[in-house]
A and B are shown apart, each in its own frame.
Chain A
Amino acid sequence: MTPTRRSFLKAGTGGAIVSLLGFDLRSAYAQSRDLKISRTTETRSTCPYCSVSCGVIIHTLGDKAKNVTAQVVHVEGDPDHPINRGTLCPKGSSLQQDIVNPRRLLKPQVRRPGSDHWEDISWEMAFDEIAHKVKKTRDDTFIETDDKGRTVNRCEGIAWNGGCTDTNEFNYLVVKTMRSLGVCYLENQARV
């Protein structure tokens, strides 16, 4: 049996009494709080905030089996990481609350022209509507040749704003898709 903290302390007091009578001291230990990461799954990740790219370990309950919904219990610096060596800043240290956050957006929404509120929309419908708008705007604004008759193949009616936490691979897909549409207004947090 593993003694609980409470059971020990009773034993501890009792131990004090028996010790007076010359009995042993073995039970004079305090059982500290259970380590909350003693049975977690560790996933190595990279902090999404600044450009130092600290290694982080995300501790989740469950072993990632199919029937388990993982729950993040703790995020800590990766001690093997040569730059951050296990340390984290106040933003990195609070990553658990970024992952489990009641303010997260959970469903696609649309705000219709003139409306004063958000409406729910299915993914399928959102993709369909967006694709139609992208195509229409492209067809309406596409310029094949400039005023000197030179090929330019550009679409100036659509702009792309990329974020700072977009991965390389995603950014590559952006270049592939947006440049293929002829998008010139292609910008990213990297600019500002």
Chain B
Amino acid sequence: MTNGWIDIKNTDMMLIIGGNPAENHPCGFKWPIEAKRQRNAKMIVVDPRFTRTAATADLFVQIRAGADIAFLGGMIRYAVENNRVAKDYLIHYTNAAFVVQEGFKLPEDGLFSGFDAAKGTYDRSSWSYEGVDRPGGLAYDLALENPRSVYQLLKQQYSRYTPEMVERITGIPKEQFLKAADLFTSIRKDGDMKKVATILYAVGFTHHSSATQTIRTAAILQLLLGNVGRAGGGVNALRGHSNIQGATDMAGVFDILPGYLKMPNPADTDFKAYLERITPKVAKPGPWESYNYWSNTNKFAVSLLKAMYGDAAKKENDWAFHYLPKIDRNYSWTEIWDGMYAGHVKGLLAFGMNGVAIGPNAQKNINALKKADWLVVCEIYPDETSEFWKSPGITTEEMKQINTTVYRLPGAGFAEKDGTFVNSARWLQWKSAALPLPGMAKLDQEILARIFLKVRELYKKEGGKFPDPVLNASWSYTDPHNPSLSEIAREINGRALADVTDPKLNQTIKAGQQLPGFAWLRDDGSTMSGNWLYCGSWTEAGAMMQRRGTEDPSGLGIYPNWGWSWPSNRRVLYNRASCDPAGVPWDPDRKQIWWNEAQQKWVGPDVPDFKADSPPKDHMGPFIMNYEGVGRLFVPLAGLADGPFPEHYEPAESPVANPLHPGQSTNPIAKKFHSDMDKLGTVAEGYNIVCTTYRLTEHYHYWTKNNPMNVQLMPEPFVELPAELADDLGLRGGEHIKVTSARGHYIAKAMVTRRIKPMTIDGKKVYQIGIPIHWGYRGIAEDEGKTALTPANMLSPAVTDPNAYTPEFKGFLVKVEKV
């Protein structure tokens, strides 16, 4: 989230799209309700189903799954056409005025300039600003009239997203769309800047083959309306699970290192080349300033390598840069299963991750595991992944042919371990262990440490391939076999390895002391930090993430002394943009930070997400992590794989050809797999119903099916379908329905409802159905024989977004029949 949960109470307008917070974040949802109760804020909910979030909305709009870009693109057009844009904000805080170089082409035919049909990728060199190499800086036009200005291109791009086109793609009747567009943009009526709107989304945005661009469309809309950086505004990823935000920050994903540093590439022949490639250079209009905070990448990277490899990371060996693997292709989630199915991923360590049930294309994941040599599962309950070898349909004979060795290790439940979770508001919060471990269970860190130290011992004894990183990973924990998480947390924050002095502050951090913040990181090996973003979370003053200060002097819900939020305890990102160019808050009633002329610095209840002493006259952009310093309506060059502006593409499986450009219906560079298990269905083959998957408030993923209370609340799997479709099938609620996709089938009871209505998509009647994902073949109901033992993700396709590599769990095609 750019903002935070409590901050939602400050809003005047909410657009909840691609998310269902009432069901999936109930306690966070108190803040939207608070905004309604305390400020009479309005709530618009857009979803394929009338959800429990919709039940409290002022306006509900049913949309076809996979059509959000069309809806939001239509909103952008409406805002522009009706002059409901934040003009000053747009000119000064976004790249609206920048000029795009000649040769760039919008996707009227479905393709941006530079498409390479043979490779299926874009040559992105034409997606660039004019004047990048000019000494005077980037070309710009503050009047926003240059036909190649970002603003004019944006206007042109979304001029095609008329209410009629929105209706054809999304299935939302024109009048209803206009009602929603008018309501949402009403906060910028007559150019008034006081009011603020927020957009809340979750995996309804991300589970698509154009996921990243869907989020981008929301971001563009928010920049147009001047809502980013402001209390009650922002683009807010509600995220899903307890520490998904933390796992991303800490680089639990293949393409990054902690703190969002990019992974090394084989072309990075040395550390210098790596830094050269990943450190962005400032590009801006001459008279403006850009902080370009990523210019400190060298300090972050050296400090990370010092944390990982200690004394073995020296200037002479490029800080042990070559200890890290170099990657030049995609190793994401679906690639793991494809690689294992192809036979080259031989072993898998799954710690608290039920890959079979999570899918997509669960049967492929099961078949992949059959080919693996070994599998190590650390879990607290028996799960589908550890028992893939006896999944439904496998005979005793077949079981004998499955040669995978499976270790199932009992790990620790949340109450038995301490450590930090990061919530979607970027708050780090430490939790304490309440209980001893049950039975023979062990702490996760002990299990990992013992495996790793054993491997290290073997390399010491026997030697082997490139043992250096294994032997030299820094491991100076008091109990090496069971490292304490508080020790690790201090390592992540980082400390001085030699005395570090800041002459400007006239302050010295002594060797061995914890660093107070990332401004202290150095690139000469005198500091170490496991994650620069978390530098400041555990200082000499103690564990900031353990703080429990309940005071909120501003009343804005900042709670500056509760826990600690990255970066630098800033609660609303880009908060410089909450003020006008002169440094005065847009709304005097919601003052987050402001420029204090006497003190010559930015002050206020929140920590400025900005260079604290940069005066407004210098015109430094508020988006300090972008090298231009401004928000990007247009994303230049390598920023995104599939276009500098979002364009609506149909899901990989779609009931219609793209009404914008039938010739290029789907995302041209969405990743598809080609194994014999990866089939896509078509309407011609009878797959004519749009299916979406989702979560229920009563259950948590594949976990609470082991909990009797949650099972009592929602005892059995079901399929939600429109009453009209049920009538067509002669099906009544409670009877069994079989859902079939090109990949597998799913059987459950039918929930016949009026909360999902049939839709008209491009003139064609289309039904949507929904399946909650929470069941599989191990659980209370499953073990009692009350279910068909089919995970919902037997149905979903392994087609992924080209930027975030997230699979299309929502909006694929199925056919249904009564059982």
Contact = CB atoms under 8 A, between A and B. Distances in A.
B405 A111 contact: yes
A98 B699 CA distance: 12
Contacts of A127: 450-451, 454
Contact of B266 (A58, A94, A132, A152): A152
Given A50-B25, A134-B455, A190-B252, A170 B346 contact: no
A80 B462 CA distance: 55
B260 interface: no
Contacts of B806: 191-192
A169 B488 contact: yes
Interface string A31-63: 000000000000111111111111100101000
Contacts of B438: 104, 106
B253 A188 contact: yes
B781 to A, nearest CB: 12
Chain B interface residue number, banded = 35 or more
A180 interface: yes
B427 A133 contact: no
The 10 closest A-B pairs by CB, nearest first: A163-B352, A106-B439, A167-B419, A164-B241, A188-B252, A131-B454, A53-B423, A48-B414, A43-B434, A154-B325
A164 B466 contact: no
Contact of B807 (A58, A77, A104, A192): A192
Given A91-B704, A98-B413, A110-B406, A162 B326 contact: no
Interface stretch (A1-9, A10-18, A141-149): A141-149
Provide the main secondary structure of the chain A interface: mixed
Given A105-B441, A156-B345, A190-B247, 6 more contacts: A110-B405, A165-B414, A167-B419, A169-B488, A170-B445, A176-B474
B700 A49 contact: yes
Contacts of B548: 44, 80
B673 interface: no
Nearest to B399: A116
B404 interface: yes
Interface string A108-140: 111111111010010100111111111101111
Given A82-B550, A99-B415, A175 B254 contact: no
A148 B358 CA distance: 37
B593 to A, nearest CB: 20
B645 to A, nearest CB: 25
Interface stretch (B188-196, B334-342, B676-684): B334-342
B325 A161 contact: no
A186 interface: yes
A153 B240 contact: no
Interface of A: 43-55, 58, 60, 69-70, 72, 77, 80-85, 87-92, 94-95, 97-99, 101, 103-116, 118, 121, 123, 126-135, 137-142, 144, 146, 148, 150-177, 179-192
B106 interface: no
B429 interface: yes
Contacts of A176: 308, 473-474, 530
A95 B710 CA distance: 10
A70 B433 CA distance: 12
Contacts of B491: 172
Nearest to A53: B423
B612 interface: no
B247 A166 contact: yes
Nearest to A146: B266
A113 B466 contact: no
Contacts of B457: 131
A84 B550 CA distance: 12
Nearest to B481: A127
A53 B6 CA distance: 12
Given A45-B434, A87-B27, A192-B806, A150 B267 contact: yes
Interface stretch (B179-187, B378-386, B583-591): B378-386
A172 B250 contact: yes
A90 B713 contact: yes
13 contacts: A45-B414, A49-B700, A52-B25, A84-B27, A94-B707, A103-B706, A109-B407, A127-B450, A127-B454, A128-B454, A163-B353, A180-B323, A187-B252
A130 B408 contact: no
A46 B429 CA distance: 8
B562 interface: yes
Given A49-B242, A116-B399, A72 B346 contact: no
A172 B432 contact: no
Given A51-B25, A172-B531, A105 B252 contact: no
Contact of A89 (B26, B328, B434): B26
A171 B246 contact: yes
B355 interface: yes
A189 B247 contact: yes
Contacts of A146: 266, 328
Given A91-B700, A163-B353, A172-B250, A50 B435 contact: no
B710 A183 contact: no
Among A70, A98, A123, A140, the most chain B Cβ lie within 10 Å of the Cβ of A98
A81 to B, nearest CB: 8
A158 B252 contact: no
B280 interface: no
A164 B240 contact: yes
B408 A58 contact: no
A150 to B, nearest CB: 4
B396 interface: yes
A150 B713 contact: no
B294 interface: no
A112 B405 contact: yes
B434 to A, nearest CB: 4
Nearest to A71: B435
A188 B244 CA distance: 8
Given A82-B557, A107-B439, A167-B246, A88 B27 contact: yes
B242 A47 contact: yes
Contacts of A156: 331, 339, 344-345
A171 B30 contact: no
A53 B431 CA distance: 10
B242 A48 contact: yes
Among A140, A166, A168, A177, the most chain B Cβ lie within 10 Å of the Cβ of A168
Interface in B395-414: 396, 399-411, 413-414
Given A44-B432, A127-B454, A166-B352, A51 B380 contact: no
Given A111-B389, A113-B405, A162 B459 contact: no
Nearest to A49: B700
B349 interface: yes
Nearest to B409: A108
B332 to A, nearest CB: 6
Contacts of A46: 242, 414, 421, 429, 431
Among A106, A151, A169, the most chain B Cβ lie within 10 Å of the Cβ of A169
B325 A182 contact: yes
B333 A187 contact: yes
A88 to B, nearest CB: 7
A83 B28 contact: yes
B469 A182 contact: yes
A168 B780 CA distance: 31
Nearest to B709: A94
Interface in B319-373: 322-328, 331-333, 335-336, 339-340, 344-353, 355, 358, 373
B44 to A, nearest CB: 22
A56 to B, nearest CB: 9
B258 A135 contact: no
B373 A137 contact: yes
Among B406, B407, B562, the most chain A Cβ lie within 10 Å of the Cβ of B407
B113 interface: no
A142 B403 CA distance: 22
Nearest to B454: A131
A49 B422 CA distance: 12
Among B246, B441, B469, B474, the most chain A Cβ lie within 10 Å of the Cβ of B246
Contact of B706 (A83, A101, A133): A101
Contacts of A162: 247, 252, 351-353
A104 B324 contact: no
